[in-house]
Structure 1
Amino acid sequence: MATAGDGPWLDDAAGRLVRPFTVSDGRTRPTVELDLMSQVMATGTTPFGYLGPEHAQALELCRAPLPVAEVAAHLKLPLAVTKVLLADLVDGGGLTTKPPVSDHHPTDRALLEAVLDGLRRQL
């Protein structure tokens, strides 16, 4: 049975009824360079080209800047699929992207401890 608002694509017992790579038409490589922490944001213009339901969801999520990893989590799609969808939206003019801004090295101990503390507060 589908959950309210999810349409025919999700089922409470079975999960996603459509294979994730069907969403990206089998494409696995985005046309735009995106990493996990790249920021994406809607431009406010309607993108040209076909927009599937996941494209529309991603566009709605990106009204405020979000990292690619967070968009993938909200869409409940693999990162590779999400990157393809976001690249479609960038190519169509609906999204803009910028590389992550960080004053810290990803293995900086203070940064990792701050992330761990934040996660603990969430649990």
Structure 2
Amino acid sequence: MSEQDPDVSLLRPYLLTSGRAQPVDHTLEIETQVVTSDQGAVARQRLTFEHRDIVELCRATMSVAEIAAKLGLHIGVARVLVADLAASGHVVLRRPGAALNQDLGMIERVIRGLEAIR
């Protein structure tokens, strides 16, 4: 199979999330800020591939959307992986207040920031 094989691109996200399409925390928003916990920093080398990449990346706080963009992951895959890491205590989630979700300026800044990452 070549790297351009469409079946490979469909299969990989399925493998990364153990077949799950939904995160264990259904309320995890893409703007949620993620930072590596002390436990995650200590366990980093024992984690598997993308989990390790997320823990390493989140030594500096960043959103779920930024994680997806920087690691080239589908946003749904990133949500599943981040939720798993939060459930295991490897990362800490900082959720925005309800008012931020309605702040059009903040949403536009997030979009511009994500576009700049590409």
TM-score with structure 2 setting the length: 0.70
Matched, 1:60 2:63: no
* Equivalent position to 1:20, from 13, 24, 36: 13
What CA distance in whole angstroms lies between the structure 2 residues aligned with 1:22 and 1:85? 11
Q: Percent identity?
A: 30
Q: Which runs of 5+ in 1 are unaligned?
A: 1-10
Distance 1:104 1:40, change over 3 A: closer
Matched, 1:36 2:26: no
Q: What code does the residue aligned with 1:52 have?
A: T
Distance 1:105 1:56, change over 3 A: closer
* Equivalent position to 1:86, from 82, 85, 109: 82
Q: How many residues align?
A: 106
TM-score with structure 1 setting the length: 0.68
Matched, 1:95 2:91: yes
Higher relative contact order (CA 8 A, sep 6+): 2
Structure ranking higher in helix proportion: 2
Q: What code does the residue aligned with 1:29 have?
A: Q
Q: What code does the residue aligned with 2:72 have?
A: K
* Equivalent position to 1:69, from 62, 65, 73: 65
